[in-house]
Each structure stands twice: as structure tokens, then as C-alpha cells.
Structure 1
Amino acid sequence: MNSRRRFLIAAVVVVISGVMSVLAAPELPARMATHWNAAGQPDGTMSKPVALALFPVLSAVLLVVFAAIPRIDPLRENIASFRPVYDWFVVVFTVFMTVIHGGVIAFNLGYEFDFTLLVLTAVAGLFYYVGVLLTHAERNWFIGIRTPWTLSSNEVWDRTHRLGGRLFKLTAIISLVGLFFGDYAVYFLIVPALLTAGVTVVYSYYLYEQIEHGTGSDSVKLP
């Protein structure tokens, strides 16, 4: 399967999101619940037209951006080396957006479920695939853990992304465990995610300093 077909799958998912809006519109209230607190209770609303258009339009715009990135990145040849994994990330992302959109519609149609748990489950799946993407990503300007130190060294990039990939997968697993802890479930996502972000930034700086002081391999710097 080539890249064009994978993006076609993503486009079909976005279209499905829009069709869901059109089909559900007549049965939905004028104002729809669109925000929930950690306890799963709705605490924010939007007008129906805005709520129904938000996810499909945002997904379509982001799909165009995702399609452009491999063409405009100065290091596009590096993206080509992991293009299938990148393309499937785009598919996974559009599915994620559609699942959340479907959840919003279902809730406003009167179906009873914990919306926060739906979001946490969907985010866990997305985070796990982000971990897969990071372990394959080569140095580029748009995709991955882009710190001054990863962008300045191939070795720092590779080692930081290997660690980041494992941490994102671990965050996904911890998030799923958190589903059994009720109102505290959201913290099983937020805390590991923040720690992952902090650890990878600090680790990339540490590696770069080690290499610059001659205790690691030679760095390969951007022009």
C-alpha cells in the first residue's frame, strides 16, 4: 500500500466524521455538551452547528497539514525513510478525532456513558502509536521530539526517540490502568505525560553535553 492510499483511508475517516454530523443533526439539541470535567460530568456547551462542524473541519485541516509536511520539510528524505509509519499515524489520528466526535454526538443523543473514560481510552491508543512513530522517526523539523539538542545531533535524536517511544507506550499503558480508579483516572494520563515530556527534554540535553565534552559519539550537526 502506497502513501496515497493510506492518506485516502484517513480522508474517508474524516468524511465519515462529517456524515455522522449530518445524520445526527436533526435529533440533537440546539446547544450541545462539548466539555466534561474529570468526574465525567458535562460542564461546557457549544451551539449545534459549531459543535457538529468542529471535529470534521479540524480533522480535514490537519489532514492537509500532515500531507504537506513530508513535502516542505528541508529534511524530507529522512521522513521518506519512515513514511509508512508516519502515514499510519495520520490514519490513527483521524480515527481518534472521529471517535471523540462520535462520543460527543452519542452523549448528546442521550446515550449514557462516562465520556472522560472514552477520551482517556482513545488518548491511550493515540499515545501508544505515537510511541511507535517516535521509535522510527529520523531527524526532521516537524515530527518527533524536537529540542535544540536532538536537532543538532543524529545520535542524540536517535537515543532520545528510543527513550521517548518507550515512555509514550508506558504512558498509554498506565492510562489504561487508571481507568479503574474513577475520578483519579485523568491523573494517570496527565502525570506520566508531563514526566515523559520533561524527561525527554532533560535527557536530550544530557546526551548532547556528554557528546560535546568527548564522552559520547561525534554529533552530526545541521548546517
Structure 2
Amino acid sequence: MIGSRLSTRLRFGVAALLVAVGAVASLATAPDLPERMVTTWNAAGGPTGTLARTAGMWLVPGLAAGLIGLFALLPRIDPLGGNIAAFRVHYDRFVVIVTAFLVALHLAVLAVNLGYAVNVTTVAVAGAAALFYYLGTLLPHIEPNWFVGIRTPWTLSDDTVWDRTHALGGRLFKISAAVAVVGLLVGEYAVYFLVGPALATVAVTAAYSYVLYARRREEGANGDPATRTTK
């Protein structure tokens, strides 16, 4: 137990260090950043919106720090928090990967506003593809809980539906990641190769959980569908 807590603290420490890197980069580049920073781009990589320099410098580091705090809190307040302990290593790694993605995106934004030729859309799609792939690795390990995973009324009501839906979701998110990587080869359409498969995965897993739950009810295999277990 002590070793597990130390490992969790270490991984969250890595995430915090990544946020610190983003913050230091903001401070170091502040004198050279424009008064209004470009912060949003369209699918073709063209700028579409700006923020005041202070907001642009601190939006993403602040968001990343807030997410780390939220991820640290969730296992403590979840009534099924004991289940999260069963996949805590994967959970903690996900926190690090999400933080790394946000910081990489932030560094790309800073670089563009300093005049470097960086395609932020490409960085975003590549980073999201890596995030999707790890999400595909994480999902099959997730035990029933109230905050993390594919939480439909049907997965939350039946542990077997939960397990099978997450196994399917894991495979689909890995496929989505592969499609997103292919999308990097088609330039301005790359975002669609990222968003399309992700939305399809969400729809398919939700529908699958309902169909599987209904089938189990019909077969009388569910018993008490409202019962949750702590594994």
C-alpha cells in the first residue's frame, strides 16, 4: 500500500513537473510574445482567434494544473474508490499523458506566437492520437466507478455490461488512434480523421451497452441490475 502511494505521488509529481515546464516556458518567452496571442486554428491550420497575452500564457498551464487536482480528488470522493485502486497505475499514467499532451500543445502555441513555423493542428492531432491509443489501453482495465470510463445507464447497472463495453471501447479507441495517424497524411482533413472515429466510438459503445443490457435482461442472466460490486 505504501509503495503504491509513493508510485502515485511520483507519477503525479511528473505531471506537476510538466506543468512547471509549461509555466517556465511562458515566463521565459513573455517579453517576446505579442500583445494578443493566436490561440485557435481551423482544420487547415489557419488562425481563427486570439487571446490577450496574459490569458494565452496561462490558460493551458492553469487548465492542466486544475485537471491534475481533479484527477487526484476523484478516487477520494468516489463511493467505489476502492475499485480505482485496482487500475491505479493505468489511471496515473493517463494523468501524465493528458498533462503531456496539454503542455506540448501549449509549447506549440508559444512557438507559433514567437514566429516559428509550427503547425499546431498537426501537433494537436498527433497528440490526441497518442491520447486515444492510451485510452484504448486504459479502458479494459477500468473497474466500475462513478467518474472514469464509459458510464452509460446500462454499464452502471451491470458489471458484465461494463466489462464487455470497456473491452470494445478499448479496441475502438486504438483503431481511432490509427485512423488519426493516417489523417496526418491528408493535411487540412486531419481533424476529421480524429473527430469522426472518436464520435463513432462514443456512439457505438453507448448503443452496444444498451443492446447487451437488454439482451441480458431478456435472458434472465442479470439478477439484480442495480447491484454494483467492489472488486
CA RMSD of aligned residues (A): 1.3
What letter corresponds to residue 47 of structure 1 in structure 2? A
| Stretch moving more, 208-217 or 125-134 | 208-217
Identity %: 51
What letter corresponds to residue 165 of structure 2 in structure 1? T
Selected match of 2:31 from 26, 47, 63: 26
Question: Is the Cα–Cα contact under 8 Å of residues 30 and 48 in structure 1 kept in the other structure?
Answer: yes
Question: Is the Cα–Cα contact under 8 Å of residues 158 and 213 in structure 2 kept in the other structure?
Answer: yes
Give the match for residue 170 of structure 1.
Answer: 175
Give the match for residue 81 of structure 1.
Answer: 86
What letter corresponds to residue 149 of structure 1 in structure 2? W
What letter corresponds to residue 218 of structure 2 in structure 1? H
Q: Structure 1, residues 11-57: CA drift from partner, whole Å, max 9, x if none?
A: 11111111111011011110100000011011110000000010111
Question: Is the Cα–Cα contact under 8 Å of residues 111 and 118 in structure 2 kept in the other structure?
Answer: no
1:40 aligns with 2:45: yes
Give the match for residue 117 of structure 1.
Answer: 122
Q: Structure 1, residues 104-135: CA drift from partner, whole Å, max 9, x if none?
A: 00010111132211110011011111111111
What letter corresponds to residue 126 of structure 2 in structure 1? T
Measure the CA separation in 2 of the matches of 1:49 and 1:78: 41
Question: Is the Cα–Cα contact under 8 Å of residues 36 and 52 in structure 2 kept in the other structure?
Answer: yes
SS of aligned partner of 1:221: coil
Give the match for residue 203 of structure 2.
Answer: 198
Q: Structure 1, residues 48-84: CA drift from partner, whole Å, max 9, x if none?
A: 0000010111111111100001111000111000000
Measure the CA separation in 2 of the matches of 1:172 and 1:216: 34
Question: Is the Cα–Cα contact under 8 Å of residues 86 and 133 in structure 1 kept in the other structure?
Answer: yes
Deviation at 1:94, TM superposition (A): 0.5
What letter corresponds to residue 20 of structure 1 in structure 2? A
User: Where in structure 1 are there 5+ consecutive unaligned residues?
Assistant: none
Question: Is the Cα–Cα contact under 8 Å of residues 178 and 188 in structure 1 kept in the other structure?
Answer: yes
1:6–1:158 Cα change, 3 Å: same
Question: Is the Cα–Cα contact under 8 Å of residues 22 and 103 in structure 2 kept in the other structure?
Answer: yes
Give the match for residue 208 of structure 1.
Answer: 213
1:219–1:161 Cα change, 3 Å: farther
Measure the CA separation in 2 of the matches of 1:106 and 1:218: 57
Question: Is the Cα–Cα contact under 8 Å of residues 70 and 79 in structure 1 kept in the other structure?
Answer: yes
Deviation at 1:7, TM superposition (A): 0.8
TM score, norm. by length of structure 2: 0.93
Measure the CA separation in 1 of the matches of 2:221 and 2:186: 43
TM score, norm. by length of structure 1: 0.97
SS of aligned partner of 1:185: helix
Measure the CA separation in 1 of the matches of 2:224 and 2:39: 47
User: Where in structure 2 are there 5+ consecutive unaligned residues?
Assistant: 1-5
